[in-house]
Amino acid sequence: MEVVQKRRWYFMALVFLPFLKGVCADTPPEIETITIHLQEGMVLDCLCPWDGNLTMVSWTKEPESNSIAVFHPEFGVATTYHYRDRIEFLRTTPMDGSISMKNVTHQDIGVYHCSVQTFPQGPWIRNIEVEDLDEPPQEDKEDSVEAMQVDTYMTAELSSNLTLECKRGGNSTTVHQAVVEHMAPGQSWVIIGICKQVEGGVLIEDYGDRGQVNCQDNLDVILQLSPVLKEDGGYYRCSYSTDAGLQTNTFLVTVPKGGFSLSVFMMYVYLAIGTAGLILLTALLIVLLRRRKKNRREDSRDKLHTSYPPSWRQWWANEICGQVY
């Protein structure tokens, strides 16, 4: 009987709790928002200030409000694929829903929404805005093609392989970040890759669908284009953020629209050789089949002639004239 009464009380509490909250609260509580800077191992603090029982913690990211991580005291932690093995719930206290994030990239910039579900006081909510101190360089409106200083001129053939090696001048300063950009003719600068020094190694952020960016331990950058397309022509710039300031290394890559291409020529040569070989093999097979068919026909004819009876002339020569064949 006592268990039934408790269940009834719990049901009534669930029904009337939202109504009582609406009556007692004149205005909805303000959602606290704090700002932190993007960095490796950053902590998104979400510590509920009151006591109670924590039932669940959920993290979402704006503006899509996609769920990124959930903690349940009984069922544990669940994270989405993009944040798998990157998020850790700290759990310093029973009401702590804070998380730490590793292997951060510029895609982790944004507003995070933390919701701590507690009993009996209900949810506690906080917004955390993550911004970057080292924002990727934006388009430089004052840059002009005529005034741009080019360090290296290169010519690449269509469908060939091209490697750009960006090296900063001097080794006396510490490099924090290297940004690789591309500006096609008539267009603006576009970031295609970023290399950053983080604790424990080098972090590579890939923003382009053309080429592969490789970062060395000293943040020297190697860009590989394979195969080269027409749109790969233009300016390439490597910008290094160092203790002594910004250092740049600029390339001008020219991709001829036409002309002789060794790789294309060799492809046509191989195709011609393969076609000629196929035609020669086919002709040889046809000749062999015809010769075999002719030999079989002659063998059949010889066998047929030996089975015929001797003619009267042969009989006359054998019997009358005594001629022996």
Give the homologous superfamily in CATH for domain 152-254: Immunoglobulins (2.60.40.10)
The predicted structure's pLDDT at residue 23: 38
Total Cβ atoms within 10 A of residue 264:
13
Walking along the chain (325 residues) 10 residues at a time, the average pLDDT comes out as: 45 43 45 87 92 91 81 86 85 92 85 92 92 59 60 88 82 76 84 80 78 84 88 89 79 79 73 91 90 79 60 60 53
CA–centroid distance for 313 within its chain: 95
Domains of the chain: which residue ranges? 24-131, 152-254, 262-319
Q: Which fold has domain 24-131?
A: Immunoglobulin-like (2.60.40)
Residues 97, 103, 104, 108: what is their CA dihedral angle, to the nearest 10 degrees? -70
Alpha-carbon gap, residue 61 to 124, rounded angstroms: 17
- What pLDDT was estimated at residue 120? 87
Query: Which tokens is 300 given?
Result: 């059949």
Classify 198 as helix, strand or coil.
strand
For residues 76 and 35, is the Cβ–Cβ distance under 8 A? no
pTM above 0.85, yes or no: no
Closest residue by Cα to residue 112 from 167, 157, 57: 57
What integer pLDDT is reported at residue 319 of this predicted model?
62
Q: Concatenated DSSP letters for 121-172?
A: TEEEEEEEEEE-SSPPP---TT--TTTPPPSEEEE--TTS-EEEEE--S-SS
Q: Where are the alpha helices (DSSP H) in 251-261?
A: none
Token pair 């932690």 is found at 77
43, 87, 93, 116, 145 from 90: Cα distances, Å: 9, 9, 9, 14, 51
pLDDT at residue 309, rounded to an integer: 55
pLDDT at position 170 is 64
Query: In which region does residue 145 sit, left (phi positive, over 0), alpha (psi from -120 to 50) or beta (all else)?
Result: alpha
Residue 279: CB atoms within 10 Å: 10
- In the prediction, which pLDDT does 282 show? 92
